[in-house]
């Protein structure tokens, strides 16, 4: 039997109160939504590119989101000196040459980036700033950006999933 993406754990967060717990909770909810869209699919299905001529695949999105998490939370916000994933910011390698046999490792890597990113950001003040292409962003804005990144790609993932096996509303 081939590996399939497991069902995600529940994720929830406060809807009132301080900014940080609300934004952290909503980022976790967006991550869970992406996880849920992929749940039950095999590596072969994740690697499919069903929207010709697009190079977009769920596996490419998994790799891309792992890269985004690493860049924003660990490298930029926490200042960790670590290797980039898939060529780093702006490089297209996360979507290129996806292979079904890499799916389980890539999905585990995404989950590890979630864990490591949360741990790295936990020690950073929410009002701390990073330079992003000449603009100053607070960690608060980084969370808003990540939530937007997931919302955008969750929409892509919904369409890919529907084309792969007809499943909608995950």
Domain contains 136: yes
Neighbouring residues of 28: CB distance < 8 A, sequence distance ≥ 6: 11, 12, 13
Closest among 2, 5, 3 to 107, alpha carbons compared: 5
pTM: 0.94
pLDDT at residue number 26: 97
DSSP 52: T
Domain contains 100: yes
Domain contains 3: no
Domain contains 121: yes
The residue segments making up the domain with residue 145 are: 19-165
Report phi then psi at 85, rounded to 5. -100, 140
Quick one: pLDDT band at residue 9, thresholds 50, 70, 90?
confident
Give yes or no for residue 41 having a pLDDT over 90: yes
CA 126 to each of CA 16, 49, 56, 162: distance values in angstroms, whole numbers, following the listed order: 17, 38, 33, 37
CATH of the domain at 133: 1.20.120.450
Domain contains 170: no
* Tally of domains in the chain: 1
């Amino acid at each position: 039997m081939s590996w399939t993406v497991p069902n995600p754990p529940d994720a929830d967060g406060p809807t009132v109160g301080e900014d940080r717990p609300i934004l952290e909770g909503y980022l976790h909810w967006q991550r869970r939504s992406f996880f849920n869209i992929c749940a039950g699919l095999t590596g072969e299905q994740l690697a499919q590119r069903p929207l010709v001529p697009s190079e977009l695949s769920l596996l490419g999105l998994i790799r891309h989101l792992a890269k985004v998490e690493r860049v924003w939370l660990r490298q930029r916000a926490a200042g960790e000196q670590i290797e980039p994933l898939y060529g780093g910011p702006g490089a297209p390698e996360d979507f290129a040459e996806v292979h079904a046999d890499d799916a389980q490792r890539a999905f585990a890597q995404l989950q590890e980036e979630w864990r490591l990113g949360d741990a790295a950001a936990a020690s950073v003040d929410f009002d701390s700033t990073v330079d992003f292409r000449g603009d100053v962003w607070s960690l608060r804005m980084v969370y808003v950006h990540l939530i937007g990144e997931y919302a955008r790609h969750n929409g892509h993932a919904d369409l890919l999933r529907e084309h792969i096996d007809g499943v909608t509303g995950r």
